[in-house]
Amino acid sequence: MVTGGSGFIGSAVIRSLVAEQYAQIVNIDILTYAGNEATLLNEACYPGYKHEKADIRDAQAMRRLIKKYQPDAIMHLAAESHVDRSIDGPGEFISTNIQGTYNLLEAVRTEDDRRLALTDQSWRRVRFHHISTDEVYGTLGASGYFHEESPYQPNSPYSASKAASDHLVRAWAETFGTDTVVSNCSNNYGPYQYPEKLIPVVIHRALAEDVIPVYGKGDNIRDWLFVDDHATALIEVMGRGESGRTYNIGGDSERTNLEVVETICRVLDDIAPRGNGTYSDLITFVQDRPGHDFRYAIDADRIKTELGWRPQERFETGIRRTIEWYLANQDWVNVVGGAHSAKKRQGLGGSE
Ligand code: NAD
Ligand code: TYD
């Protein structure tokens, strides 16, 4: 069972599960602005795939669906995921990310109790894999890395809501014996990312000959991971991770935002040149994000040594693949409302 399977990362996970021929895959996704049926069109024909349009904030629905499908494992990705939106309207982040995770944990507990009450000796708990972010650890200076033991210091409403949900998962494992694994990953990029995050916004605006907004001086640093590498890591953690353990996942690909933007401009100059000038002429420095974390960087040693996972894609080739995908899939961008979204500056802190 995958929650949030119609979003950016969840859909990559489902494509990987389909490729690995998992017998039955249930996607629980209410289809917010960030989730769309167009994202999983091909998988709709896979015989073992089923989409349940349900809200993780609906506790009864979560209990009903877990009872109905009796999953071996739940990969929980459904969330409000955009920092800028969390600055403009934190409420949805609290209800979906915290209350929604709580509902799923309680539904899992009910299902575990039901299985325990059966006389069958071979019963197994539901494995609950909580997918989280490195942003729960706060921000780094110029050196150092986030480790699994780094203190939680979230700075945005988004990261605070994810941190809260991580704590709930830990507590359910410690108190109720729920079989949990948690993974905290760095910034993802790749196909099907909603055009409100940095990379798809830059691609879209460049192609539209619009200004390319770089927050502050563009010197903030992120550690970029190609989304299919994240999906592979998640399937390893779900299948082989040690119960109660956290795994950090990262791309070993730190770049300043300005470097990322300039790389995209160079690739576009190569494959879709402008009539006059270069795309980098469109780069514009704009007002910074409030509470903007300076640097994220992951030490992914644990998942590498314990589960043998490594990122396969290099940033230079992955970004080119991503840009080519967006060029070839403008229909998808239009269907999900990406053109409108990419134009809109969010995150300057209006109230709800
Ligand atoms: P996304 O915003 O692209 O997709 C989220 C999905 O969840 C959408 O399909 C949406 O419809 C669904 N959803 C939202 N609220 C729901 C609700 N109440 N009930 C049911 N479904 C709901 O997000 P993403 O970028 O794919 O991120 C997936 C997960 O990975 C999130 O938990 C996020 O915190 C985490 N994560 C993301 C990144 C990143 O770089 N994008 C990095 C690390 C961790
Ligand atoms: P984003 O993709 O929103 O991811 P996150 O905030 O989770 O890291 O932003 C990545 C970085 O890019 C972040 O430092 C903010 C910056 N940024 C811009 O400079 N311009 C933009 O238009 C956007 C959306 C982000």
The answer as to whether 271 is a domain residue is yes
Least confident piece of the model among 23-37, 76-90, 110-124, 201-215: 110-124
Ligand 1 pocket residue status of 246, Cβ below 6 Å? no
The answer as to whether 323 is a domain residue is yes
Quick: pLDDT tens for 273-291: 998 899 999 999 999 999 9
Q: Map 275-328 to HEC letters.
A: CCCCHHHHEEEECCCCCCCCECCECCHHHHHHHCCCCCCCHHHHHHHHHHHHHH
According to DSSP, the β-strands at 49-52 and 73-76 are unpaired
Q: What is the pTM of this model?
A: 0.98
Distances (CA, A) of 36 to 11, 29, 321, 329: 10, 9, 22, 14
> Ligand 1, atom 42: nearest CA belongs to which residue?
187
Ligand 2 pocket residue status of 129, Cβ below 6 Å? no
The answer as to whether 333 is a domain residue is yes
Q: Would the pLDDT of 352 be above 70?
A: no
Q: What is the pLDDT of residue 24?
A: 97
Name the token pair of 209: 């000959």
Ligand nearest to the CA of 65: 1
Quick: pLDDT tens for 62-90: 999 999 999 999 999 999 999 999 999 99
Mean pLDDT score of the chain: 96
Domain span holding position 72: 2-338
Q: How far apart are CA 185 and CA 188, in angstroms?
A: 8
Quick: pLDDT tens for 295-314: 999 999 999 999 999 999 99
State the amino acid at position 185 in one-letter form: C
285-288 own/partner pairs: CB under 8 Å, 24+ apart:
285/214, 285/216, 285/217, 285/218, 286/213, 286/214, 286/215, 286/345, 287/215, 287/348, 288/215, 288/216
Ligand 2 pocket residue status of 258, Cβ below 6 Å? no
If one counts every other C-beta atom within 10 angstroms of the C-beta of residue 345, the result is: 11
Ligand 1 pocket residue status of 79, Cβ below 6 Å? yes
Calculate how far, in angstroms, residue 82's C-alpha sits from the geometric centre of ligand 2. 9
The answer as to whether 350 is a domain residue is no
> Ligand 2, atom 25: nearest CA belongs to which residue?
198
| DSSP-assigned states of every residue in 248-266 | EE--S-EEEHHHHHHHHHH
Q: What is the pLDDT of residue 136?
A: 98
Give the position, in ligand 1's atom list, of the atom nearest the Cα of 35: 9
State the amino acid at position 200 in one-letter form: P
The answer as to whether 348 is a domain residue is no
> Which active-site residues does the annotation give?
134-135, 158
The answer as to whether 83 is a domain residue is yes
- Domain containing residue 247: CATH number: 3.40.50.720
Name the token pair of 340: 């409108």
Torsion 225-194-268-264 (CA) sign? negative
Portion of the chain with pLDDT greater than 90, in percent: 94
Quick: pLDDT tens for 25-68: 999 999 999 999 999 999 999 999 999 999 999 999 999 999 99
The answer as to whether 296 is a domain residue is yes
State the amino acid at position 280 in one-letter form: S
> Ligand 1, atom 41: nearest CA belongs to which residue?
188
Ligand 2 pocket residue status of 342, Cβ below 6 Å? no
Which residue in this structure is represented by tokens 């500056």?
345
Quick: pLDDT tens for 224-235: 999 999 999 999
Of 9, 33, 80, 162, the one to substitute when testing ligand 1's pocket (max ligand atoms within 8 A of C-beta) is: 9
| Phi–psi pair at 315, nearest 5 degrees | -60, -40
Q: What is the pLDDT of residue 338?
A: 85
Number of domains in the chain: 1
Q: What is the pLDDT of residue 350?
A: 62
State the amino acid at position 38 in one-letter form: A
The answer as to whether 347 is a domain residue is no
The angle, 0 to 180 degrees and rounded to 10, between the axes of the packed helices 198-207 and 315-328 is 50
**196-208 mean pLDDT:** 97
Chain centroid, CA 205 distance in Å: 22
Ligand nearest to the CA of 261: 2
Give the position, in ligand 1's atom list, of the atom nearest the Cα of 96: 18
